[in-house]
Amino acid sequence: MTLEIVSSNKSFGGWHKRYRHRSTSLNCDMVFAVYLPPQAEQGAKLPVLYWLSGLTCTDENFMQKAGAQRLAAEFGLIIVAPDTSPRGAEVPGDPDNAWDFGLGAGFYLNATQEPYARHYRMHDYVVHELPALIEANFPVSGKRGISGHSMGGHGALVCALRNPGRYQSLSAFAPISNPMACPWGEKAFSRYLGDDRGRWREWDASVLIAEATERLPILVDQGDRDDFLATQLKPEVLQAAAKAAAHPLTLRLQPGYDHSYYFIASFIGDHLKHHAEALKG
């Protein structure tokens, strides 16, 4: 699969690069970002942390705002940030041009309803296609972690819970924890998956955690001044589900923090350490 380089910038002794390629899962061109720490040029095989961003974002938000490169260079972690949805003139978006559905709002699932089923297969892209591309073109060890924010936090939890053994570490910032019972999730699930709420359960972390065959420890940070906390995110539902299933979850409610990248930048170090410890032993 051909990779076209879009940009390249030196950062903390390594390289932040953006690439474009044609996705077979999504039937469109996609752009992703990769941070290659300095160890990548020294012949080392390195673990990969996949970062999934939230509604309206692209690969650029995390790479430009989170401040993750310094510690990624120290720990020897490759970071890969895909886009949040398929893109392009051929890809259907929201008919009303709303920001919380369609382009920039792929919800990291595999759509089954038209006109979205042909393009909106972000789960397959993130879990299978993109890692295969990374592992064929970059010096990786085969160890994978996954994390994300908001819609991307939902995506990280679901990707790991649906694919036991695929990832060795998992975390999230302010994830949409119970999407089948919040406005963002109900809107997306009804259009991507149809009206059968039984099918929605397959993409809800608070449901999947009870059925998980792997007990991968989860680190979640949530700001207590997040405007979306009560109506959209519902971390207490995830916490209750984890407790009932005896699934290891560390949920930290951070006083004074909101939903922004100021919040993510404040605690990204803890998350990178969490992943480095699991991925590098």
Could you report the per-residue pLDDT of 58-106, keeping only the tens digit for each? 999 999 999 999 999 999 999 999 999 999 999 999 999 999 999 999 9
Q: How far apart are CA 48 and CA 212, in angstroms?
A: 23
Structural domains in the chain, sorted by start:
4-280 (3.40.50.1820)
Q: How far apart are CA 192 and CA 233, in angstroms?
A: 20
Return mean pLDDT, the chain.
Answer: 97
- The pLDDT, as a whole number, for residue 246 is 97
Question: Percentage of residues in the chain with pLDDT exceeding 70?
Answer: 100
pTM of the prediction?
0.97
Active-site annotation, residues: 150, 226, 259
Question: Percentage of residues in the chain with pLDDT exceeding 90?
Answer: 97
